Structure 1
Amino acid sequence: MTMTDQGFHSGFACFVGRPNAGKSTLTNALVGQKIAIASSKPQTTRHVVRGIVTEPDGQLILIDTPGLHRPRTLLGQRLNDLVFETWAEVDVVGVCLPCDQRIGPGDKFIIGQLAKLERRPLFVALATKTDLVSKERQLSHLVDVAGVAEELGIEWAQVIPCSATGGDNVEVVKEQLIALLPEGPMYYPDGEITDEPTETLIAELIREAALEGVRDELPHSIAVMIDEILPRPDRPEDKPLTDIFASIVVERDSQKGIIIGHKGERLREIGATAREQINRLLGTRVHLNLHVKVMKEWQRDAKYLNRLGF
């Protein structure tokens, strides 16, 4: 694809919404493969993951930002800065407003922040999670979606009800987002789905496994560092094995105990869950060697944050 090709649309979009509004799940559904980790815990997304969707008539590059929140730590502040930087650079912002929840102060806070942007992208309302509600509830939600735009002084370029898990209208979301992008070149080769390094994707899959079933105060304290990825020598070519050494980082000794669990049971569970996902990602068998490391109050320490890539 060259710069001169007419009718090819390309550009950048991101999804915003309060925690658990379906942003990462929708990103994965559009890309057709898991590249953004999804969890019921708030603040799951920390890295700007780019998902790449290429169609004959356009290329959509999705930027999966962290959720905007009132920060309590240096990490929180850095994540918010990342959100505002992203909003200023994209062509389209999709605001995820789940149908199974009323539009509340959290949603209005985010839309209000978007309304203040000097350089405004186009805004699309995505009424997510349609699979969880009746048609009547869906319709009343769409009336509320129209009302909140008017109240806060923005305009929706499109309003699309959809469900990433049910597959409802995912193709429509894809088509409409591409149609709203400016004409432009193909930024990535056809077939590429993300520009995230494999190492980051592996670390995120381990963190997702570690987040499952932990208590509320723990998710924010978990980070993952990949120490080494090595192909196992002396393996037959048709049966390769990759050794991955990784550290799950927490802030306190008590948290280390929770992650390891009774006689190491919890850590083994995390390893088994993550290994299955990493096998799928790499298309080869992996041996995952996990250990848990304490970095006291890392979320508030600039030195640790830099080391962990924030």
Structure 2
Amino acid sequence: MSASPFRSGFVALIGRPNVGKSTLLNSILGEKIVITSDKPQTTRNRIQGIHNLPDAQLIFIDTPGIHRAKSRLNKSMVDQALAAITEVDLILLLVEAQRPPGEQERELVGLLTGARVPVMLVMNKIDLVDKTAILDRIAAYRELYPFREIVPVCAERGEGVEMLVELVRAALPEGPVYFPDDIITDVPERFIAAEIIREKVFRLTRDEIPFSTAVEVDSFKEREDGSLISISATITVERDSQKGIIIGRQGTMLKRIGTEARRELERFLNSKVFLELFVRVRKDWSEDPKLLKDFGYL
């Protein structure tokens, strides 16, 4: 009996902001490589996560949420998400189980019209609705598009994720091993360090700080014996008032951001970390093409 063919390919995760794309990717990989929060547009870049199986390599591309963009930053994010649709072997459209298909969902489905690759619908957050509602949602979406599969999941709890992975594997073509089997992302450690810091800003400052926050890692140095990694990073905001909030009274907020980021970095990097943070103001950077390019958003 011949062995089953090796399958591989690229899979785009698309959907509205805050539907759980990053949470799903982290759940599939069993490792946190993408930051999450309850705020929309948390993911700003296309990030590849690599899931290795004995007979397959699944390369997931987590994209920014597709929305009606106004700022240069948000338009860049949406452009990245739409570009991913044209460069993959399979598309996963994520929606929320508790929402019937509305105008935004119909617009998303419209973007897939004429897609040359299979599209699966992933219905996330099934823990928030009863089974009858889930069946109603499935029937409604089947009328909108000929999805290859409709898979109910709860990404946060991992429910249905194993089945989804198997369906994705079966849908991919025969192909080569694109990446070594001991890595889960092609994203540099410096990038992940910056994202972890940005996530802590989001989570700790809540609604006081808008999305006009960027983080750059200025230096990332590891001792030769691997016992310590020294990281220096700068948090950029658009106004002096935002800088004051991030620093906090007598530096308390910045210290909390640094402490929580350092702990997570130590878990991810499996090393002691010395983290130094700075805060600066770049007025209206999210509308400045040069700064957007410098921050990697263009």
TM class, shorter-chain normalised?
A: over 0.9
| Correspondent of 1:87 among 85, 88, 107 | 85
Q: CA–CA distance in 1 between the matches of 2:233 and 2:122?
A: 37
Matched letter for residue 163 of structure 1: C
The correspondence for 1:111, drawn from 109, 121, 128, is 109
What is the one-letter code of the residue matched to 1:155? P
Q: 1:33 aligns with which of 31, 36, 44?
A: 31
Report the 3-state secondary structure (helix = DSSP H, G, I; strand = E; otherwise coil) of the residue aligned with 2:258.
helix
Instruction: Give the structure 1 partner of residue 160 of structure 2.
Output: 169
Work out whether 1:139 is the aligned partner of 2:132.
Answer: yes
User: Aligned residue for 1:292?
Assistant: 279
> For structure 1, which runs of at least 5 residues remain unmatched after alignment?
none
Q: What do residues 112-133 of structure 1 show as CA deviations (whole Å, max 9, x unaligned)?
A: 2222xx4432111111112333
CA distance in 2, matches of 1:21, 1:62: 16
Q: 2:147 aligns with which of 153, 156, 159?
A: 156
Measured after TM superposition, the shift of residue 100 of structure 1 is 3.0
Q: Give the partner amino acid of 2:102.
A: G
Q: 1:203 to 1:182 in 2, by over 3 A?
A: same
Letter in 2 for 1:146: A
Q: Which runs of 5+ in 2 are unaligned?
A: none
Alpha-carbon offset, residue 264 of structure 1: 1.1
Q: Using the TM superposition, give the Cα deviation of residue 146 of structure 1 relative to its aligned residue in structure 2, in angstroms.
A: 3.1
Shift of 1:145: 2.9
Confirm or deny: 8 A CA contact 1:125 1:145 kept in the other structure.
no
**2-structure distance, mates of 1:106, 1:264:** 41
C-alpha distance in structure 2 between counterparts of 1:219 and 1:192, whole Å: 33
Deviations 1:105-153 (A, max 9, x none): 22222122222xx4432111111112333xxx233223323323423xx
Aligned to 1:254: 241
**2:54 & 2:206 partners in 1: Cα distance?**
45
State the SS of the aligned residue for 1:279: helix
Contact preservation (8 Å) 2:90, 2:119? yes
Give the match's secondary structure for 1:281.
helix
- Provide the C-alpha distance between the structure 2 equivalents of 1:80 and 1:217, rounded to a whole number of angstroms: 24
Instruction: Give the 5 Å matches for 1:1-310.
Output: 7-115=5-113, 118-133=114-129, 137-151=130-144, 154-216=145-207, 218-231=209-222, 237=225, 240-310=227-297
Instruction: Count how many residue pairs are aligned between Structure 1 and Structure 2.
Output: 295
Query: Does the residue aligned with 2:211 lie in a helix, a strand or coil?
Result: helix
The answer to whether the Cα contact below 8 Å between 2:208 and 2:245 also exists between their aligned partners in 1 is: no
TM-score norm. by structure 1 comes to 0.90
Distance in structure 1 (CA, Å) of the matches to 2:198 and 2:127: 28
Any idea what SS the aligned residue of 1:94 has?
A: strand
Query: How far does residue 217 in structure 1 lie from its aligned partner after superposition?
Result: 6.9
CA distance in 1, matches of 2:208, 2:103: 23
